[in-house]
Chains A and B, each alone.
Chain A
Amino acid sequence: MKVKLWGTRGSIPAPGPETIRYGGNTSCVGVTLSDGSLLALDAGSGIRSLGIDLGEAPTRLHILLTHLHLDHIQGLVFFAPAFRPQTEIVIWGPASPDASLRDRIARYISAPLSPVEVRELPCDVSFRHCPETEWEIGPARIRAASVSHRGPTLGYRIDDGDSSLTYIPDHEPALGADLERLEEDWISGFALAEDTSLLIHDGQYTDAEYPGHIGWGHSALSHSLAFARRTAAERTVLFHHDPMHSDEFLDAMSAEARARWSGLGGLDGAVELGAEGTEYELPARAPSPAVTAA
């Protein structure tokens, strides 16, 4: 399984010289399964670059949406393969008592917010609510579970061979909870992340920033680290960077994360901040992922 970060930013794109290394695009992670099947985790502005990278060849792609906040779907109408009839796209997402997934996404892909409507997309696109039970895409087993954020929100776990990827980009598991003391089955997202090879997790705020953002649906650094430690994730990538955080700021946050992780007894290099363009390869039968490019 190959994983590439196409957008690591949260809330709103933050392009500019001050965010060039960690990136300014909003949430999107590309996943290539061991049989070549393609997944995109969320469709923030980063999916535009993923679409360009896929080129003109006929494509079948599954897009797994965690939720429908704009920073996770705003790239859909700029995803070039969606405008080619030879493309087949299956969009998965959370169910809601409000309306179907298709109708909720159509609120964005429709006038006056969009120049095109869902029905006008030339590709073969379908919408599916994530089932409560595990399902398969190619060789992978996929699990989705509701996690603590604002509105219906999912986290995902993808198991392919012996490797697993857990993706919970918007998550506030410490809201009203002590992650260090709580029983495992009472921690939001725990089952998705338990013993995972690679955990991509919300790391939006510093501990100093968090008190001003309680209940906004995101984690402070100490929460992210506690979640990673409790779930015994082999490697953790902190993600969904605040749009106000410059590369310089994130460098300092990264250094603090590494130091605190080491202080918790964690392995050096097992926690990092996600940077746009970084690729990870999760070997089918290896215990730990390795960074192959930055």
Chain B
Amino acid sequence: MTQRPLELILARNLMSALSTPAFLVDEGGVLAFYNEAAGMMLGKRFEELGTVGPDEWGSMFGPFDENGEPIPYDELPLVTAVRSGRPAHAEYVIHSTDGSSHSVEVSAFPILTAHGSQGGIAIFWPTELNADGSAPA
């Protein structure tokens, strides 16, 4: 069987313990994992979705710019990070499967190893505030 690179395994283990929404893709851009916090934001748990290819996940949840226009897949921070080997950041709106929308800031960075790039991680920071001014969970 093909073993996932250790760096991806450790990244997934860390992400599983975080309450910050996070995405993990492999070196080919295939969505390898997202954590429970991301699942709450997207309205679907990773276990329900499973691994999906770059074309599919890039369009499943939007994203959309501030004018409501779809952001091309090639311009997503995670795609930029994996392809360029550099961190990338953006603000956009994603759609949950329950119909709600979320404004988020996204920071993505590549997973670079001694054997080259193994994929990338994107962290989502919801920008809508709760009624008391605190950041949403």
Residues of A within 8 A of B (CB): 95-97, 132, 145-148, 152, 175-177, 184-188, 190-192, 194
Query: How far apart sit A237 and B73, CA to CA, in the bound complex (Å)?
Result: 49
Contact A148 B9 (CB under 8 A): yes
Query: How far apart sit A280 and B55, CA to CA, in the bound complex (Å)?
Result: 51
Contact B3 A191 (CB under 8 A): yes
Query: How far apart sit A186 and B3, CA to CA, in the bound complex (Å)?
Result: 7
> Known contacts being A132-B115, A185-B1, A190-B1, is A176 close to B6, with CB within 8 Å?
no
Q: Which residue of A lies closest to B13 (CB)?
A: A176
- Chain B residues with Cβ below 8 Å from A95 are 114
Query: How far apart sit A194 and B14, CA to CA, in the bound complex (Å)?
Result: 24
Contact A146 B1 (CB under 8 A): no
Query: How far apart sit A244 and B116, CA to CA, in the bound complex (Å)?
Result: 40
Contact B114 A188 (CB under 8 A): no
Question: Chain B nearest CB: distance from A207 CB in Å?
Answer: 19
> Known contacts being A95-B114, A176-B16, A176-B17, is A148 close to B3, with CB within 8 Å?
no
Q: List B1-60 residues whose CB lies under 8 Å from chain A.
A: 1-7, 9-10, 12-14, 16-17
Query: How far apart sit A39 and B3, CA to CA, in the bound complex (Å)?
Result: 25
Question: Chain B nearest CB: distance from A121 CB in Å?
Answer: 27
- Among A145, A146, A176, the residue within 8 A (CB) of B14 is A176
- Among B3, B12, B13, the residue within 8 A (CB) of A145 is B3
Query: How far apart sit A166 and B24, CA to CA, in the bound complex (Å)?
Result: 29
Question: Chain B nearest CB: distance from A217 CB in Å?
Answer: 12
Query: How far apart sit A187 and B3, CA to CA, in the bound complex (Å)?
Result: 8
- Chain A residues with Cβ below 8 Å from B5 are 146
Contact A185 B3 (CB under 8 A): yes
Q: Which residue of A lies closest to B5 (CB)?
A: A146
Query: How far apart sit A192 and B6, CA to CA, in the bound complex (Å)?
Result: 13
Contact B2 A148 (CB under 8 A): no
Query: How far apart sit A186 and B50, CA to CA, in the bound complex (Å)?
Result: 13
Query: How far apart sit A191 and B5, CA to CA, in the bound complex (Å)?
Result: 11
Query: How far apart sit A175 and B13, CA to CA, in the bound complex (Å)?
Result: 7
Query: How far apart sit A132 and B16, CA to CA, in the bound complex (Å)?
Result: 28
- Chain B residues with Cβ below 8 Å from A147 are 6
Would you give the 0/1 interface string for B59-103, flagging 1 where the beta carbon is closer than 8 Å to chain A? 000000000000000000000000000000000000000000000
Known interface pairs A96-B114, A97-B114, A152-B114; 6 further A-B residue pairs with C-beta atoms within 8 A, sorted by A's residue number = A147-B6, A175-B13, A176-B13, A185-B4, A186-B4, A188-B10
> Known contacts being A186-B4, A188-B9, is A177 close to B16, with CB within 8 Å?
yes
- Chain B residues with Cβ below 8 Å from A191 are 1-3
- Chain B residues with Cβ below 8 Å from A186 are 4, 9, 12
Question: Chain B nearest CB: distance from A183 CB in Å?
Answer: 9
Query: How far apart sit A213 and B7, CA to CA, in the bound complex (Å)?
Result: 21
Question: Chain B nearest CB: distance from A98 CB in Å?
Answer: 10
- Chain B residues with Cβ below 8 Å from A97 are 114
- Among A96, A145, A184, A194, the residue within 8 A (CB) of B6 is A145
Question: Chain A nearest CB: distance from B62 CB in Å?
Answer: 27
Contact B6 A185 (CB under 8 A): no
- Chain A residues with Cβ below 8 Å from B13 are 175-177
Query: How far apart sit A177 and B10, CA to CA, in the bound complex (Å)?
Result: 9
Q: Which residue of B lies closest to A173 (CB)?
A: B9
Question: Chain A nearest CB: distance from B72 CB in Å?
Answer: 31
Query: How far apart sit A95 and B116, CA to CA, in the bound complex (Å)?
Result: 13
Query: How far apart sit A212 and B6, CA to CA, in the bound complex (Å)?
Result: 24
> Known contacts being A132-B115, A176-B16, A177-B16, is A184 close to B9, with CB within 8 Å?
no
- Chain B residues with Cβ below 8 Å from A175 are 10, 13
Question: Chain B nearest CB: distance from A20 CB in Å?
Answer: 37
